[in-house]
Amino acid sequence: MDPISPLEQALHAARALVLADLAANEVAAADVVSMVEDSVVQRRWWVEQWPDGVAYVAGLVAQDVQDALLEKYGRWPLCPVCGSGDPHALDVEPELGPDPHWVCHKAGVKVAAVGALGSATGGASSS
């Protein structure tokens, strides 16, 4: 059996992390999972063109899915930190870097690592 390439490992990990965050917020419907799969396909091509970007895949897939959800359903994930004012979405930081986190820019805090949103929102755990 051939070993799994670092690219495939990163893509599978990114898929799992984003799906965990979607499940934690109970938005992992079939059409949303398809958005994740579409992003993974696009990011596979992207990393094949720029192999040094493999460490950035999880954050990019999270951003891709966030953008796709915004177009179809609205903001996701909503900030669990700010209890008043208009509901607003979290952002992925760094935009292009390793170790991506969901961040509330309004409160200026890291909320959770991508894949661990359930621990911050009271949803399902990603353990």
Task: Give the tokens for residue 67.
Answer: 């953008």
Task: Give the tokens for residue 125.
Answer: 């755990």
Q: Which of 21, 46, 36 lies closest to 117 in space, CA to CA?
A: 21
pLDDT in tens, 82-117: 877 788 999 999 989 999 999 999 999 999 999 999
pLDDT in tens, 6-40: 899 999 999 999 999 999 988 889 999 999 999 99
State pTM to two decimals.
Answer: 0.89
Count of CB atoms situated within 10 Å of the CB of 72: 10
**For residue 9, what pLDDT is reported?**
94
Average pLDDT over residues 60-76: 95
